[in-house]
Amino acid sequence: MSVPRFWRKIPQRYNLEGTHCETCGRYFYPPRNLCPDCRREGTIVNHTFKGVGKVVTYSVIRTASDQFSALTPYVLAIVELEEGPRLTAQLVCSPEEVTIGMPVKGVFRKIGAEGESGVIYYGTKFAPM
């Protein structure tokens, strides 16, 4: 798969920048520019997350698409950030290490590349704390 070009320009991926609704207090990552609770009444501002959270659930991916097949087996998880929102990310730990509820922190990593000499893109993975 080739990734849409604009993705590499999304700074939110690199440093966990999301959004915050000042009207109701909810935090969003991935970022949203419309609050699902307040909708047009919501005031959305940018927010940089601390990058700490815990594992809600996980799996160990053993069959992947070409783009990720060299990484298998890798640990994929849903992480709940301290501020509330949840996101899907890889964990940089062994399959034996991961448990539900495990505290993790965000780390800047290469996520994948388009083919062998293609464009590299980066993002956030999570490591055990």
Question: Where do contacts with other proteins occur on this chain (CB under 8 A)?
Answer: 1, 3, 7, 13, 30, 56-69, 71, 74, 76-78, 86-90, 95, 100, 111-112, 123
How far apart (Å, rounded) are the C-alpha atoms in residues 57 and 35? 25
- Whole-number minimum distance, CB 89 to Zn ion, in Å? 24
User: Which among 129, 128, 107, 110 has a CA at the least distance from the CA of 120?
Assistant: 110
Q: How many chain residues bind Zn ion (CB under 5 A)?
A: 7
Which of 7, 10, 14, 24 is the binder for Zn ion (CB under 5 A)? 24
CB 83, CB 50: distance < 8 Å: yes
Task: Provide the CB-side half-sphere exposure for 25 (13 A, CA).
Answer: 2
Q: How far is the CB of 41 from other proteins (least distance, A)?
A: 20
Q: How far is the CB of 125 from other proteins (least distance, A)?
A: 8
Minimum Å gap between C-beta 89 and other proteins is: 5
Residue 74, binding choice from Zn ion, other proteins, none, Cβ under 5 to 8 Å by partner class: other proteins
Burial environment of residue 94 by CB neighbours within 10 A (0 to 12, 13 to 18, 19 or more) = exposed
Name the DSSP class of 107: E
